[in-house]
Chains A and B, each alone.
Chain A
């Protein structure tokens, strides 16, 4: 294999991994910090994509639209937390069922507003050549975006007041309350933050996939398994899991078809969780 081929493979693999990270980081924050399983996560991704779409249609610059989308989805997340999620803390099974119901509503609501035809935005920036291969600049964007989001999450949790309180509440919720932290208000913010991250992931998906109300379903399975495999470490675990599962998916798709790649990821994750029930970062405790 020559250098060009190797670089091309590497780039494609990294893009796979980055994509996995982008669709999971929002779910990881919510599950890791609060223990809530949001089965409507795919629909939050979808909202981000549609928000970007709407922005572009209205004439906004695509990058601006991608910046605004997470804000909108974050606000929506705040609403959802106040109206629904706050009654479900500690009720794992019920939170799964209720958010499943929410996802049904969200999909249909979007159908009402946007209709069912597949829409999309053209992939921006075009291609560049890597030896004999033509590579999309957007893949590089995705990789950079993944790195950016990781940095954002790191900065928010390590350098802001909210982040410190949230980390404390994640480690010892009762002690945090005894110190005077209103954990309920904190949870609302965390859910909003996780939703915003999901919105960002969805926004970045918009140029490379058909934007359709039901698109969430294609990603929820992989996002889920990624988060479960990641374990409690929101950043460390998710990055490690994305790397591992992303590589599995990429390798399997390379050897056969993308569908098989997705199936392989899921199967690998199912087997792995059986042997590592606390996930990859399970031994490192509740931390970032």
Chain B
């Protein structure tokens, strides 16, 4: 349902991704892994539309979205949770969710909000707290809930475990798994935490210097020491 063909993207004078090719099937969970600076965040930003591509094409749901602005891609069903989550710090938890609801023109917003709160009771009890006062893990859950509210087909997650307490990591993995199986939402996640990514995803793509180098199963990367050393470690 998502296809990247010969994608090149970057910033001003630098091209970070070159000749990037990727095809994701509906309902999959895919992890993109690689060291820092190889282009993983750039990849997500380009798919989300916050970074314009330099050449190549992106097809989503059989439609060419290569030049569509970010807000239109969001309305088409692409939800993007950036690195650092980007919770609106000076809005309350409830307001953060409402923004997503208004933005995606949800009908029966109040009903949907109650559904979200029953699914995430932790958020319900904090609904009037400032977003910026939540812990990293709570923010991550809020970010996921916020993305869910927009009824997405594709979820792009950039480093969901960064800055999150260990106790919540398992909870987050559980949420993502649930999102994928129950709501049939496709997930593309970028992660540094090998265990987290490999246990969640079915497929992993290894990125190096702006290109896809290997596409393997998650179990392979979890157990192959040499692969790990070559693409992830030192």
Contacts and interface: CB of A to CB of B under 8 A. Distances in A.
Q: Do chains A and B make direct contact within the complex (CB under 8 angstroms)? A: yes
Interface of A: 161, 164-165, 167-168, 171-172, 174-183, 285-288
A174 B146 contact: no
A165 B74 contact: no
Interface residues of B, number: 26
A175 B86 CA distance: 7
A167 B88 contact: yes
Interface in B29-47: none
A285 to B, nearest CB: 6
Interface string B144-182: 001000100000000000000000000000000000000
Nearest to A172: B86
Given A287-B90, A288-B90, 4 more contacts: A172-B88, A178-B80, A180-B150, A286-B90
Interface in B92-114: 95, 98-100, 102-105
B122 interface: no
A164 B97 CA distance: 11
B71 A164 contact: no
Contacts of A180: 71, 74-75, 100, 103-105, 150
Contacts of B95: 164, 168
A167 B102 CA distance: 13
Contacts of B70: 174, 177-178
A171 to B, nearest CB: 5
15 contacts: A164-B98, A167-B88, A167-B91, A168-B88, A174-B70, A175-B82, A175-B88, A176-B103, A178-B48, A179-B71, A180-B100, A180-B150, A181-B71, A285-B89, A285-B90
Given A167-B91, A172-B86, A285-B89, A177 B99 contact: no
Contacts, number: 73
A263 to B, nearest CB: 36
Given A176-B99, A177-B74, A179-B104, A171 B89 contact: yes
Nearest to A178: B80
Nearest to A288: B90
B150 A177 contact: no
A143 B82 CA distance: 45
A182 B95 CA distance: 18
A285 B133 CA distance: 13
A288 B130 CA distance: 13
A183 B86 CA distance: 17
A165 B91 contact: no
B50 interface: yes
Contacts of A179: 71, 74, 99-100, 103-104, 146, 150
